[in-house]
Copies of this chain bind each other. A is one copy, B any other.
Amino acid sequence: MNEKLLMTPGPTNVPKRVLDSMSQSMMHHRTSEFSSMLSQLSERLKYVFQTSSDVLTFPAAGTGGLEAVLVNLFSPGDRVLLVSIGVFGDRFAKIAQAFGLEVDKLEVKWGMGAAPQAISDSLKDSHKAVIVTHNETSTAATNDIQKIAEMLRGEDKLLIVDAVSSLGGIELRMDEWGIDAVVTASQKALMSPPGLTFISLSERAWEHIGKSKMPKYYWDFEKARADLNKAKPQNPYTPAVSLVAAADEALAMIQEEGLENVWKRHELVAKRVRSGVEKLGLKIYTHGDYLSNTVTAVDIGERAESVKAMLEKEHGIIISGGQGHLKGRIIRIGHMGCIDCEMADRTLRALEDCMNRA
């Protein structure tokens, strides 16, 4: 492929140790070797999800995981409160609407996170769930899931969290905070290649699954959970064996470093990127109360696309541009997964060079 430095909100740099785990001979998915690897990955996933519930693995993009949660938990006509703080919240709403859910959308000003009070004010008895993005890469804003979960405690509403760009990089404690469904993907803070989505549900969420009238087959969670809990754990259909091996290796690295240390490293690198950006006289797009530790959005006006192109051409560093109405106005620097201060500094030096030239 190439040797470029990926400073995007995913896919992220994959450590050589993880890449190498894919270059071994193919393993058959009905062997004891694969069963052992799958159960080992599942235990490691419980650790990064901070849950004692099963974590299901599907060959799919994160968007598939979001769809899977909806088709397993709901029936057409069910009403949900969907909190959108950007492009990915809007996408989650589109998926819910595509499957016939009644979606009441709480739209938060871009660059901000959602105030628990605003969610509480929008909540109706008819809402079966509150759906929220933990970290919104389009605006580099992070929601305070712990506070939102506290606000919902005691309410008979499922809390569903899109943690695709946060899990493994930003503190998330599924059981302790009381989250009912967490969805993530392999290619973000979990520093694995893209192609796997991981989903975990609370016991309360599992009770809803039996009632769901949504058509489903590939995404059937009950089948996936039953197979995962067999004496020889397996997947209902052929798993992406190489990607399972890669994710297992990447999560082993997270366990070795320690999840809390990994969160701290992300915070450290994020602060370094933000202060470096400000030292260059550039403006952080996101409101100070909601700064993300996995991605930074910088408001640089019409130079955005040219600076992004120059960073790749002159320095071999890939960053992302703006999405939606922010296209051509901001750049987004990802700093999640396999990331350290040296990578941050290299990116900042290159950004300074490109800003001077642009």
Contacts and interface: CB of A to CB of B under 8 A. Distances in A.
A28 B64 contact: no
A191 to B, nearest CB: 9
Interface stretch (A95-103, A148-156, A225-233, A265-273): A95-103
Interface stretch (A41-49, A198-206, A237-245, A254-262): A237-245
Given A195-B195, A217-B95, A238 B61 contact: yes
A59 B195 contact: yes
Interface string A65-90: 00100000000100000000000000
B193 A241 contact: yes
B240 A240 contact: yes
A352 to B, nearest CB: 22
A74 B311 CA distance: 46
Nearest to A23: B23
B218 A29 contact: no
Contacts of A4: 25, 27-28, 31
Interface residues of A, number: 60
A67 B59 CA distance: 14
A1 B243 CA distance: 12
Contact of A217 (B6, B99, B214, B236): B99
Given A59-B59, A64-B237, A2 B25 contact: yes
Given A19-B26, A61-B218, 13 more contacts: A3-B25, A11-B27, A11-B241, A19-B24, A60-B218, A61-B239, A62-B237, A62-B238, A63-B237, A76-B215, A194-B240, A240-B240, A242-B246
> Can you list the 10 inter-chain pairs with the closest CB atoms, starting with the nearest?
A195-B240, A61-B237, A1-B27, A193-B242, A1-B24, A63-B237, A23-B23, A98-B217, A14-B26, A64-B218
Interface of A: 1-4, 6, 8, 10-14, 19-20, 22-31, 33, 59-64, 67, 76, 94-95, 98-100, 185, 187, 193-195, 214-218, 236-243, 245-246, 312, 318, 320
